[in-house]
Amino acid sequence: DKLANFEAIVASGERIEAGEWMPQQYRAECLRLIQMHANSELMGALPEREWIPRAPTLRRKMALVAKVQDEVGHAQLLYRVAEDLGKPRPQMIEELLAGRSKFHNVFHYPVPTWADVAVIQVFVDGAAMQTQGALRSSSYAPYARVLKRICYEEDFHIRLGIDVHRTLAEGTGPQRAMLQDAINRWWQPIMHFFGPRDQASPHLQTMMRWRIKVKTNDELRQQFLRQFVPLITDYGLQVPDPQLRWNEAEQRYDYSEPDWEEFKRVIRGEGPKSAARLALRNEYWQRHQWVREALDAWGMAA
């Protein structure tokens, strides 16, 4: 029967295509995951975009516009994938604007200095790369295809960020201090990014079996720490977690347990910038109402 056939396809490592039969739970989980990913790309454009008008050189300005443009482009690609799972794009955007669907914790925080842009591009995008890289083996074919391009472009973002990070780390005293301050402010949200340690649960097992989730939260966090902690310590900068150290015996990083209450609050939309950013998006959405009406009328006539 259909479920057995579906399980067989997934178990064999094959992928499921849009328009193909799938269990309702698989469709719902994929939609929730990909919609949140799309929302996060669209909202993820806002923090760095504040620095486009203030980028300090012509080349940094062009590169930052290109980088934020990629985030908007990723939202376009991801909403397109989520759409075929049963929710039109306008409805997903309206759910985001109404605060009814989530976006990643890291985009609920302020971006007070130019160094924040470097920290976001290196460490936030670096964290996202772990999750997105793993999901390239996702069982949902349209998602896996889109992630191939997204990961290629995210890799560019990380390299761009490393260049700014290195320039500040090797720059003047005030530049180094600005960078350390940004790292201090962003470390907790970045540790939150991967979510709490997975409790073994039937839900988790199904997600892993169906390859909607490919690695556990803590595997991804450890993968991130191994790659990115050196980028701080190699420049003589501090990781703002006194407990953080490499545990040779267990081949993993030990770290202070993040404050998961703050994480839950932020995800619910009570982060320092949650309301302000959603309000800003809503304001533009209202201002463009006349443009949407005009395009609808033009589309009808075409």
Partner 1 sequence: MNQSALAAYLIAVADDELIIGHRHSEWTGFAPDIESDVALSSIAQEEIGHARLFYERVSDLTGNDPDHIAFGRPPAEFRNAVFAERPNGDWGYSMVRLFLYDRADQERLNALAAGELRPVADLASTVRREERYHLMFGEQWLRRLASATEASRARMQQALDRAWPEALGVFEPVAGQEELGAGVVPVAPSEQLARWRQSVAAVLESVGLRLPAANGGEGTGGRSGRHSDDLRVLLDEMTSVWRSDPQAKW
Partner 2 sequence: MPRLAELLGKSDADAARLFAVFRQDTRNDPHVHVGDVHATDAEMALVLAKEQFTRRDPCVNLWVVPYSTIAATPYDDAALFEHVTDKSYRFGGSYREQQRITRPRRK
167 touching partner 1, by CB under 8 A: yes
SS3 154: helix
* Smallest separation, CB 261 to partner 2 (Å): 33
How far apart CA 112 and CA 222 sit, in angstroms, is: 28
* Contact (Cβ atoms closer than 8 angstroms) between residue 123 and residue 190: yes
Other CB atoms within 10 Å distance of the CB of residue 91: 13
Return the residue of 37, 60, 102, 108 that touches partner 1, per CB under 8 A: 60
Which region, left, alpha or beta, applies to residue 195 given φ > 0 means left and ψ of -120 to 50 means alpha? left
The token pair at 208 is: 């892993």
Number of chain positions touching partner 2 (CB under 8 A): 42
* Smallest separation, CB 30 to partner 2 (Å): 14
The token pair at 142 is: 């349209």
Measured from the CB atom, the residue of 58 and 200 that comes closer to partner 1 is 58
103 touching partner 1, by CB under 8 A: no
How far apart CA 162 and CA 134 sit, in angstroms, is: 22
How many distinct helices (H) and strands (E) make up the chain? 13, 2
15 touching partner 2, by CB under 8 A: yes
Measured from the CB atom, the residue of 184 and 227 that comes closer to partner 2 is 227
* Contact (Cβ atoms closer than 8 angstroms) between residue 211 and residue 10: yes
162 touching partner 1, by CB under 8 A: no
Site string for partner 2, 54-93 (x = CB under 8 A): -----x--xx--x--x---x--xx--x---x-x-xx----
Smallest CA-to-CA distance from 153 within 252, 73, 90 is with: 73
Question: What does each C-alpha distance from 210 to 82, 144, 170, 207, 294 come to in angstroms?
Answer: 17, 14, 46, 5, 43
Binding site for partner 2 (CB under 8 A): 14-21, 59, 62-63, 66, 69, 73, 76-77, 80, 84, 86, 88-89, 141, 144-146, 153, 156, 159-160, 162-163, 166, 226-227, 230-231, 234-235, 295, 298-299, 302
Residues in the site for partner 1, rule: CB under 8 A?
Answer: 42, 45-46, 49, 52-62, 65-66, 68-69, 72-73, 75-76, 79, 114, 167, 171-172, 174-175, 281, 284, 287-288, 290-295, 297-298, 301
